[in-house]
Amino acid sequence: MTSGGDAPGMNAAVRAVVKTALSNGIEVYAFYQGYQGMVDGGDSIKNMGWDSVGGILHKGGTKIGSARCMKFRERAGRLKAAENLIERQIDNLVVIGGDGSLTGANLFREEWPSLVEELLKKKKITKKQATNHPKLNIVGLVGSIDNDLSGTDMTIGADTALRRIAEALDALSSTAASHQRTFVVEVMGRNCGYLALMSALSSGADYVLIPERPPEADDWAKELCDKISANKKAGKKNSLVIVSEGAKDKKGNPINSFQVVDVLKKRIDEDARLTILGHVQRGGAPTAFDRYASTVLGYAAVQHLMDEEDDKESMIIGLQKNRVKAIPLMESIKKTQSIVGLISNKEFDKAIELRGGNFRESLETFNTLSRAMPDPKVENVIPLNILVMNASTLAPGMNIAVRTAVRLGIEKGHRVLGVKNAFKGLINNEIEELSWMDVEEWTTLGGSELGTNRKMPENRDFYAIAKNLESNNIHAMLIIGGMVGYETAYHFCEKRNEFPAFDIPIVCLPATINNNLPGTDFSVGADTALNSIIEAVDKIKESAVANKRVFVVEVMGRYCGYLAMMSGLATGAERVYLHENGVTLQDLQNDVNMFKKAFNEGKRMGLVLKSEYANEIYTTPFISALFEEDGGDIFDVRQSILGHLQQGGNPSPYDRAMATKLAAKSIDFLVKKAGKGKHDVVSIGLHGGHIDYRNLEDLAKMVDLKYSRPKEQWWTRLERLINLFGRSSA
């Protein structure tokens, strides 16, 4: 069941639960309208088949409905619900909802023996029924756009809500720029500032108001007005203030968005306009993350119910450090509720601590960035010259990484120089200082304003580069890009004896849509590319509804199958072809047969996702032709090579936030290391949810150089889910 506030991605979770259960021979029912359906019984409880969850993966909201149900809050309602469950021999429950729904589920589980006893006493059930159902197993998945539950790093729906907010903010920023205005935008989050904070971080907002961290000044309005006035003085035309629904001042008084607009107008005569985003944040198609993460979670929920017969308490299946984890349900909920208590007691530091590392780090980065000003008063700093550049193919998010590096470098009292056109530009001395205002508009821009390409320096190029580093007196270097950047940084390190100019600290920041870099679970740009792919595939699928057709869709990634795998999972592909797992003629033959059988049984559309270099011989045209020929009259085949749309578009909020945080940490690292001791050459990355640095020499051992990808990739094991869910029946 899905219950409470709906969240995009719930459908993906329901689909995964139903299909995993059915393929294990388990009977599945859906309660329509959450607990209401459970209490009402009858037609509100439906037996689910394989096809009941067809065509819902990409839809927002929840197909099986959600509701708030007063009756379930009373024991009488829960008694009726228990009767309906026992009638259908249901004794395992997957509840997808927020903390209210999950609390209700836990209560139901705890009361279960007494409910059964009462039903027996009232002769609503037989003795045999009572003995057959001594307990109810519960597993919860957290559906909430607020990302407010302790114990899971992400809740279902939060990523999509952030995307909706980012789309709105991008649209607003273009109109704000034409009019010299300040936009005040209110986003959801009654007790949790996650959406406000992450959207502020990823939109380059100037000020954010969240429940967990009220403004430090007694007069918050003055602090806000000073900030907006200072921006104006620095040359900024427009400003953006994000207000969380639950924002408070330091005494605990609510601050609403109307007040914010009012003070800006009255105190500094600012042309301030208010936008309250409201329910658009809940709507629309789920993002790639909400589709694949919910799919993985739904699968894990059923596995958990099958594996752990004797859970001592109700559990939640959540995500911790990019891994699926079972967490005690009530412990999570108590922690979540205690944060609300801490906020009302004004114990803000503790509240932030409980929100977890990602929240704290994002807040710190936002604060530093919003403090950063063009003419900082820095004392006792010997100014460094920090070089920043892009390298390898385009990755959305490169610009925001450069912007962050420039602003934070300047704020710390240093000069930041940008290289045009990647290593080609470095060889040709295309190096220019970047000012605070040069990068003002770079937050939302896709592409690479500095320019990027795949040129790798060789032979005499190193001499030219060393000369240019020397003539520009470079003390430290940040390379934002893919394997080309990593390999070149490694060569710089090797050639230090020959060229002392290379003896500087260097950080490589992972930015490539391919996500093929060692030392990080994710690279900047991959999330945006995945979202571009699923949007394209959604359209392709729609176009096929009228015909019996198989689509072979080729995505980028070179020898790394990340994009194919994750977009396959997020679009419900029947098969993915990856270089990592190989493709044989036998596989292709089996797949044609699988499709033939499925279309003969009534299937209307098939989808295969292929990574571009999956196999040298079995290319996309080859596979399409083979399928077409062998499919005969049963289905026809179309190929679609998605191409460069995957590298384009505005970066997703996830990529923006990641680029910002990684760039901020990179600057910290470079400033700390430059001119002191051994000059490390490192990559920065997200590993198990934390930002850390890896020595490039260690990374070299982790890479399969022939195919330019890590030897171990965390996502390869997900193929079994594609094969499981891609079947045409249980």
Contact residues for ligand ADP (CB under 6 A)? Answer: 3-5, 35, 68-69, 72-73, 97-101, 103-104, 107
CB 149 within 8 A of CB 142: yes
Catalytic residues: 146
- In the chain, the amino acid numbered 521 is D
**Residue 10 or 162: which CB sits closer to ligand ADP?**
10
The 3-state DSSP class for residue 419 equals strand
CB 130 within 8 A of CB 116: yes
**Residue 148 or 612: which CB sits closer to ligand ADP?**
148
Q: Give the DSSP H/E element, type plus range, for residue 628.
A: helix 620-631
**Residue 68 or 232: which CB sits closer to ligand ADP?**
68
What lies within 8 Å, CB to CB, of 542 at 6+ separation is none
CB 445 within 8 A of CB 650: yes
CB 555 within 8 A of CB 535: no
The distance of closest approach from Cβ of residue 112 to ligand ADP in the complex, given in angstroms and rounded to an integer, is 13
CA atoms within 13 A on the CB side of 454: 5
Distances in Å between the Cα of 497 and the Cα atoms of 353, 484, 493, 571, 651 are: 46, 22, 9, 51, 40
- In the chain, the amino acid numbered 5 is G
**Residue 143 or 651: which CB sits closer to ligand ADP?**
143
Q: Read out DSSP for 163-210?
A: HHHHHHHHHHHHHHHHHT-EEEEEE--SS--HHHHHHHHHHT-SEEEB
Question: Which of 300, 287, 650 lies closest to 446, judged by CA?
Answer: 650
Distances in Å between the Cα of 598 and the Cα atoms of 54, 125, 526, 544, 592 are: 13, 42, 32, 16, 10
The distance of closest approach from Cβ of residue 69 to ligand ADP in the complex, given in angstroms and rounded to an integer, is 4
Task: State the Cα–Cα distance between residues 106 and 69, nearest whole angstrom.
Answer: 16
The distance of closest approach from Cβ of residue 372 to ligand ADP in the complex, given in angstroms and rounded to an integer, is 38
**Residue 10 or 410: which CB sits closer to ligand ADP?**
10
The distance of closest approach from Cβ of residue 282 to ligand ADP in the complex, given in angstroms and rounded to an integer, is 11
Residue 620 tokens, joined: 């996309």
- The 10 Å Cβ neighbour count of residue 371 is 12
The distance of closest approach from Cβ of residue 63 to ligand ADP in the complex, given in angstroms and rounded to an integer, is 17
Sign of CA dihedral 663, 669, 672, 677: negative
The distance of closest approach from Cβ of residue 34 to ligand ADP in the complex, given in angstroms and rounded to an integer, is 6
Sign of CA dihedral 129, 130, 132, 134: positive
Distances in Å between the Cα of 539 and the Cα atoms of 56, 130, 210, 603 are: 14, 50, 37, 18
Can you point out the beta strands (E) in 237-350? Answer: 239-244, 272-276, 315-320, 323-328
The distance of closest approach from Cβ of residue 22 to ligand ADP in the complex, given in angstroms and rounded to an integer, is 26
What lies within 8 Å, CB to CB, of 264 at 6+ separation is 182, 184, 224, 225, 228, 241, 270, 272
**Residue 98 or 425: which CB sits closer to ligand ADP?**
98
**Residue 66 or 443: which CB sits closer to ligand ADP?**
66
The distance of closest approach from Cβ of residue 518 to ligand ADP in the complex, given in angstroms and rounded to an integer, is 40
Residue nearest to ligand ADP (CB): 100
The distance of closest approach from Cβ of residue 162 to ligand ADP in the complex, given in angstroms and rounded to an integer, is 18
